[in-house]
Chain A
């Protein structure tokens, strides 16, 4: 059974810091991995999608890496801003079940 874990559960940093959010999954049989952002009381906004054959994807200040063999992904946020404060969720699309399985999220607070 695929399980997705995100560490840490919460993170507070001062503005301007570079930071890394971690995601691990137990089954390497995946089609892709997707990072989402969720603001309080809102839906999910897709940030980055990494195919299983890819190693990383970049969008602006965000960079996501994928190591399928070790079951790990990281989301790197450069020069963090207060507007980055949100919950970040990673999800893997299992190639065994066709289901999108989520981690529990990392809640980030960037202090001015």
Chain B
């Protein structure tokens, strides 16, 4: 099966600019996650979707971050305006419903550098 696709792979922007990341999960995976991984740390969950509904966005900085998952498939994560501390790798993951049995599959990530 094809993996989780993410684009772009790299992005460099100036602070206060906006940026968007795209994710296409594994076909049939109802649950989609966006994680933020700051250098030297483990990934931290930003938002979780079940189909096209938000399950958990408690750690999403909603004043600048937004995410959507139209039609329960692809998802986009947007940052506007970006801050220096947003420099990180943004990882998308998906899982089948009932991830306790199947685990998560991660994409290659988007490395964001804010200058």
Chain A interface residues (CB < 8 Å from chain B): 4, 31-32, 34, 36, 41-46, 49, 51, 89, 91, 93, 95, 98-100, 102-105
In contact, A46 and B105 (Cβ under 8 angstroms): yes
In contact, B106 and A91 (Cβ under 8 angstroms): no
Known: A43-B107, A51-B101, A89-B42. 9 other contacts (CB 8 A): A31-B100, A42-B108, A43-B108, A44-B106, A46-B103, A51-B100, A102-B44, A104-B41, A104-B42
In Å, the complex CA distance between A86 and B50 comes to 31
Residues on B with C-beta less than 8 A from A100 are 33, 45, 99, 104
> Of A32, A43, A46, A103, which is within 8 A of B109 by CB?
A43
Q: B48: shortest Cβ distance to chain A, in Å?
A: 8
**Which B residue's beta carbon lies closest to that of A6?**
B42
Residues on A with C-beta less than 8 A from B106 are 36, 43-46
Q: A29: shortest Cβ distance to chain B, in Å?
A: 12
Residues on B with C-beta less than 8 A from A98 are 55-56
B61 within 8 A of A: no
Q: Which of B56, B102, B104 has the most CB of A within 10 A?
A: B104
In contact, B100 and A91 (Cβ under 8 angstroms): no
Chain B interface residues (CB < 8 Å from chain A): 4, 6, 33, 40-45, 48, 55-56, 89, 91, 93, 99-109, 111
In contact, A32 and B41 (Cβ under 8 angstroms): no
In contact, A102 and B42 (Cβ under 8 angstroms): yes
In contact, B42 and A103 (Cβ under 8 angstroms): yes
Supposing A42-B108, A42-B109, A46-B105 touch, asked if A32 and B100 sit within 8 A by C-beta, the answer is yes
Residues on A with C-beta less than 8 A from B101 are 32, 51
Q: List 15 A-B contacts (CB under 8 A).
A: A31-B100, A34-B103, A36-B106, A43-B108, A44-B106, A49-B102, A91-B42, A98-B55, A99-B48, A100-B33, A100-B45, A100-B104, A102-B42, A103-B42, A104-B42
The 5 closest A-B pairs by CB, nearest first: A102-B42, A31-B100, A44-B106, A43-B108, A49-B103
In contact, B109 and A95 (Cβ under 8 angstroms): no
